[in-house]
Amino acid sequence: MYPSLFDSFFAPTRVIVVSEERLQAAEKEARQSQLDAIDVRISELTKYRNSLHAEIKNLNSSRPGKDLDQLDTMPSDYQPPGVNDQDNEPQSLEEALTGG
């Protein structure tokens, strides 16, 4: 643009004249684009909030430990003596001490 480095420092300043109507239109357009971006973000956040609310509602409606109830009804090698009727283990401390 300038032939030398010296010319770039001493170049005449440029003045751009913009009418007030054009300036107001540009400001209005910028504000409208900001408003549109905010509306899109609010919509995304509202969808996310609704999905979280539904997830929390589902978690509150289900009983804690419901998935472990099936394991509670199955016999296990780790259950204490007396839980299974077929055990030959003593049912009480008295039986264990007397051998009865």
**What amino acid is encoded at 1 in this protein?**
M
50-97 pLDDT per residue, tens: 999 999 888 877 666 666 666 665 555 555 655 555 656 767 778 777
**Is the model's pTM score more than 0.75?**
no
- Name residues whose C-beta falls within 8 Å of residue 28's C-beta, 6 or more positions apart in sequence: none
26-37 pLDDT per residue, tens: 999 999 999 999
The structural domains of the chain, with segments of one domain joined by +, span 35-62
Give the pLDDT score at 35. 97
* Integer-rounded Cα radius of gyration of the chain: 40
